[in-house]
Amino acid sequence: MSGTLVLCGAPIGDVRDASPRLGEILARADIVAAEDTRRLRRLTAALGVTISGRVVSCFDANEASRADFLLAELRAGATVALITDAGMPAVSDPGFRVVAAAAMAGVPVTVVAGPSAVTVALAVSGLPTDRWVFEGFLPRKSGERRSRLRDLAGERRTLVILEAPHRLSATLDDLTSAFGAQRTAVLCRELTKTWEEIVRDDLAGLAGWAHGRDVKGEITLVVAGAPNPAPPAAALVAGTPAAAAFAVMLAAEVAGHEAAGMSRKEALAAVTAKHGVPRGLVYDAVVAAKSGGDRSRSHRGGNAPGPS
């Protein structure tokens, strides 16, 4: 009878985010495969856990060969706990080959749920989270990175990118060139750690923030999706059926964001950025929807008034 592969979500910073179940699994697993065995020992010491099984390393350079060993142990009935330095194994971390081998062999795979920098950054970004795409780490070489970003420039879903501190400035410059200076983005650094920092700006502002700065720690970038094409002119002419339908859609999108947990200000900003229309137009659509009236107005250029 085969054993079970348990993917263990590790804290991304604050050890108090570890679940009691994580400690239980690490304590009783027959084998604990860790990206860094020293960091594993520090984690278990902080949790007050004693590992009773065998500890082996499983990192990028040895994962292919380690997968064969772990699969043999799983087939023999062992419980194998797979843990990386932070977050969820196989998500921009070692583990994919092990999981794929176990799944192909019909070995049960389960998970101890835990924090992920991807979902944490999305949650705090204030950007739309109903549809998003994870790009992971961009190519290291500048030419390949720029080519990838050109391909992504039209992506309308919120985009999540991981980046190393020493490449951050160059990546933000390339993002600005490919996506445009005014694309909204959020930079999340050292999430849940002592020096956590969240910087909200457009891409040009973030690029300026990063230039000449000695940035350290783990970086997660959340970038707004490409705005929808400009609405037909008729949708911006007050009193027309097209304008009324467009206003109803705007109000519904704001309400959807608020229902998902955004503040009114954040929801207005998200819908404004998505459609590339004045904030006041979106605000009027919300007011009209609540009052049952029609307070939409035509857009003749410039910034329409609205709430600050």
Q: Each residue of 232-266: pLDDT tens digit?
A: 666 777 778 888 888 898 999 999 888 888 889 88
d(CA 255, CA 241): 21
Contact 148, 140 (CB under 8 A): no
Amino acid 308: pLDDT? 37
Amino acid 45: pLDDT? 97
Amino acid 234: pLDDT? 65
Long-range contacts of 263-269 (CB under 8 A, 24+ apart): 265/307, 266/126, 268/306, 268/307, 269/126, 269/184
Mean pLDDT taken over the chain:
90
Phi, psi of 72, rounded to the nearest 5 degrees: -60, -40
pLDDT less than 70: residues of the chain: 230, 232-234, 292-308
Provide the residue count of the chain: 308
pLDDT tens-digit readout, 258-270 = 888 888 988 898 8
Amino acid 121: pLDDT? 96
